[in-house]
Copies of this chain bind each other. A is one copy, B any other.
Amino acid sequence: MHLKEKTISVEKIYDGKIINVTREKILLENNSEAYREVVHHSGGVCILPINSNNEILFVKQYRYPFKDVLLEIPAGKREEGEDPKNCGIRELKEEVGAEAESITYLGKLYPTVAYDTEVIYMYMAQKLSFGEQKLDEDEFLDIVKIPLEKAYKMVLNDEIPDAKTQIAILKAREILINNV
């Protein structure tokens, strides 16, 4: 039933710093031709740090596409071929200055499946110790601590729009509170 959509030709639209964009001519299942616009991204990692008081450490960061400051868990772009867990450990250190004795894999997510290749791997970090933030030159962010149960209610109340942050909170809570 689900034959692959076959690539006929690829037009390169943009070769950028964060994304590449292509417009690809394809053959559909019914043998007619169509075009797919594809954003290529090397993927990301996010990591939910939770301290011994059951508080999650968030970062607040200005996000240009939304012209707004958003509440997110620490995250970053994964370099081509970089191990996702190592990337999470690096971002935890850079963004909140923390190291973790325990890191748990929370699963992956595809942010927007119709036109973007990005995959984000999610982790939870526990047993934290703290040093200093080591931000990139163009990063400006504040750290905010919020108790797990409050963060969970914020997700349910539509107060945390970022997809990776919503999923990581809901999954971490299932592990920590409901022992699944």
Mostly, the A contact residues are mixed
The size class of the interface chain A forms with chain B is 35 or more
Q: From A30, A69, A155, A161, name the one whose CB has the most chain B CB atoms within 10 angstroms.
A: A161
Q: A90 to chain B: which residues have CB within 8 Å?
A: none
Contact B62 A5 (CB under 8 A): yes
What are 15 A-B interface contacts by the 8 Å CB criterion?
A: A2-B60, A2-B142, A13-B16, A14-B14, A16-B37, A21-B39, A36-B64, A36-B65, A38-B64, A66-B117, A107-B158, A109-B163, A111-B163, A112-B120, A163-B163
- Name the distance in Å between A162's Cβ and chain B's nearest Cβ: 5
Per assembly, the copies of the chain total 2
Q: A77 to chain B: which residues have CB within 8 Å?
A: 114
**Known contacts being A26-B64, A64-B24, A142-B1, is A163 close to B110, with CB within 8 Å?**
yes
- Name the distance in Å between A23's Cβ and chain B's nearest Cβ: 7
Contact B62 A4 (CB under 8 A): yes
Stretch at the interface among A78-86, A96-104, A123-131, A166-174: A166-174
- Cβ of A176 under 8 Å from chain B: no
Nearest neighbor of A14 in chain B, beta-carbon distance:
B13
